[in-house]
Amino acid sequence: MTRAATGVRSLNYATSPLLASKTPPWRSRFVVVLVGLAFAVLLGRAVHLQIWATDFYRAQGEKRFVHKLSLPASRGRIFDRNGLVLATSVALPSVQVDAKTFAADVAQRKTMARLLGMSAAELDQRLDGATGVVTLRRLVEEPVWREVQALGLRGVQEVREYKRRYPEGESAAHVVGFTNVDDKGKDGIELAFQSQLEGRAGQRTVVRDRLGRVVEDVGDQADPVNGRDITLSVDSKVQFFAYQRLRDAVRQHKARAGSVVVLDVHTGEVLALANYPSYDPARRPKLSADPMLNPMRNRALTDVFEPGSTMKPLVVGWALETGRVKIDTVIHTAPGSLVVGPLVVKDAHPHQALTVQEVIQKSSNVGAARIAMQMPARELWELFSNVGYGQRPQITFPGAVTGRLKPYKTWRPVEQATMAYGYGLSASLLQMARAYTALARDSGDVIPVTLLRQEQGAVGLHVFKPETTRELRKMLQLAAGPGGTGPKAQTIGYSVGGKSGTAHKQEGKGYASDKYRAWFVGMAPIGTPRIIVAVMVDEPSAGQHFGGDVAAPVFSEVVQQTLRMMNVAPDIDVKAQISAKPVPAELESF
């Protein structure tokens, strides 16, 4: 042990052959070259990152931390003619979750799902596997968002979006229309004036931290440009009252549907346009498989039907205008029927003879047909075209239809006869109301209708001379009075004139024997009319179906309320009207 230890300690390392060998110079140079290459690679990489690839990596960094936030524009408001709001937008939170940072236990998830109106399974399905920001619920109410915030969950955030409010609800739904969840107009005025109402969104560039919180604004902010407000011709009070009276009539007569239109005679403004059934624009219903039962259907503009006896004043008016008859000209209507080709035209009450004004008062089909047969087909066709039949109404509103008016060259004698009392052509209720502006205005012109407020009177297409319109209004007053078909149209304090109508509904290629449409179109005060009111009730089935029984009472109530709201002075002694006894109506021919 001692010798070995002594031997080890006495070893001379300097004389070791291994350590004494010289290192080749190329090795050290190789190491230096390797180190130099490494630094060159690092330097090249740094130059690449800092000079050539700087834009790419800056963009990658911005993708992770810099975000462009859209600043939504507030949609323009819709006002009635008196400045009352029909549609407006409110900013509400949409709840979002950053799936990367979101953390919640089972109980918290269940609570959050309940607040947002979804099941816990649906919430899990939306979040599991997600990597970015997930929108859980759009446009929640403020109290709901405050409850979600109170949970204190990480990764939950909000963005503000606009939601449409409709204060008038179902009464004005068919005028105002509605928007979808993206605040885009889908019907009514909301659709018709989409470009003016929607505005232009702005933009804000921000830096978010890893938790999704905004920590800094970057660059200049582009502010949103709010949409333009629209002022309508509609009077919300008249609209609401007309809707209520129509709704009550449809329910009372167990009808399928109904519509009412109120026009200003001076300007052509639509003061009210209501349909029943209706809907709440903020809560659209599920659509029925039958489109005719769709409550969102704007029947006053989209539904066309044969206008029935409301055509008779136009035909008689043209006969007066052209000098073919006078108001006291006698028309032979015996024996209460007239054979025209394959058709027998009949009156509900046979008369031996009627004057021209009695043809309107008694609503004689035979009398109207005889008068129409005196005229060339082309003249009648031009008359109907001039008052708007067979033409799409020039109104800025979606869905307005043309109706049907055949070319006069294809008319057969039987068609010319039936058109005199409203069969063989079709029109919407709005077209019927507009046609009566030619009777209501002393100038005898039919004027365009509008849903936008107008400050000046309208100018239209001349149809009748002033003396003709005055004579026609006297006839319409008789038709709505004692011995006429529409005495229930009488209104306390105001003189009225108008024409009732009743027609069998078309069903397939024929007519249903037990299905009717009833309407009344008229004006008031009759001396110098201020408004035109048109009412239609579809398929009344509670025992009454004549326009004078079903639609005329709605006309009466709407006229009285509207003229009072417009501060039009009464032109009839109210006491005399109240003391008068009810007058039986003439049975209407249809």
Q: Which of 484, 466, 467 is nearest to 475 (CA)?
A: 484
| pLDDT of res. 187 | 92
In this prediction, residues 496-515 reach a mean pLDDT of: 87
Among 53-62, 120-129, 383-392, name the one with the lowest average pLDDT: 53-62
The burial class, CB within 10 Å (0-12 / 13-18 / 19+), for 14 is: exposed
Cα distance from N-terminal residue to C-terminal residue, the chain: 142
pLDDT of residue 156: 87
Pairing of strands 353-355, 330-332: antiparallel
Q: What is the mean pLDDT of residues 134-158?
A: 87
Point out the residues that are catalytic.
Answer: 309
Distance CA(61)–CA(65), nearest Å, equals 6
Per DSSP, what are the bridge partners of residue 377?
Answer: none
pLDDT for the residue 322: 96
- For CA atoms 211, 213, 216, 218, the dihedral sign is positive
190-208 b/e with 16+ CB inside 10 Å = b? bbbbbeebbbeeeebbbeb
pLDDT for res 583:
63
* pLDDT per position as a tens digit, 213-229: 666 666 677 788 889 99
DSSP state of 467: H
Average pLDDT of the chain, as a whole number: 87
Give whole-number Cα distances, 462 to 77, 96, 499, 517, in Å.
37, 61, 22, 30
Question: Does the pLDDT of residue 400 top 60, yes or no?
Answer: yes
61 versus 474: which is more confidently predicted?
474
Domain-wise residue ranges, the chain: 236-579
3-class DSSP assignment, residue 540: coil
Percent of the chain with pLDDT over 90: 57
Q: Is the pLDDT of residue 581 over 60?
A: no
**pLDDT value of position 537:** 96
Q: Locate 297 and state its tokens.
A: 């259907």
Phi/psi of residue 394, each to 5°?
-80, 70
% of the chain residues with pLDDT over 70? 89
Task: Calculate mean pLDDT across residues 8-26.
Answer: 61
Closest listed residue to residue 318, CA positions, set 282, 356, 285: 356
HEC string of 341-353 equals: CCEEEECCCCCCE
Mean pLDDT across 121-133: 81
Of the given ranges (67-71, 296-300, 536-540), which has the lowest mean pLDDT?
A: 67-71
Query: What value does the mean pLDDT take over residues 320-337?
Result: 94
**Arithmetic mean of pLDDT, 254-270:** 96
Q: Which strands make up the sheet holding 270-276, listed edge to edge?
A: 270-276, 257-264, 531-538, 510-524, 497-507
Of 42-46, 78-82, 99-103, the range with the highest mean pLDDT is 78-82
Query: Phi and psi for 94 in degrees, rounded to 5?
Result: -105, 130
Read off the pLDDT band of 532 (50, 70, 90): very high
**183-206 tens-digit pLDDT:** 899 999 999 999 999 988 787 777
pLDDT tops 90 at residue 415? yes
| CA 20, 24, 30, 36 torsion-angle sign | positive
Element holding 47 (H helix, E strand): helix 25-47
Asked if the model's pLDDT at residue 417 lies above 90, the reply is: yes
CA 130 to chain centre: 38
* CA gap 403, 401 in Å, rounded: 6
Task: Check whether 10 has a pLDDT greater than 60.
Answer: no
Query: What confidence tier does 1 reach under pLDDT thresholds 50, 70, 90?
Result: very low
Distance, CA of 413 to chain centre: 41
248-257, 277-286, 523-532, 581-590: lowest mean pLDDT where? Answer: 581-590
pTM of the entire structure? 0.84
Q: Tell me yes or no: is domain 236-579 CATH 3.40.710.10.
A: yes
pLDDT category at 578 given cuts 50, 70, 90 is low
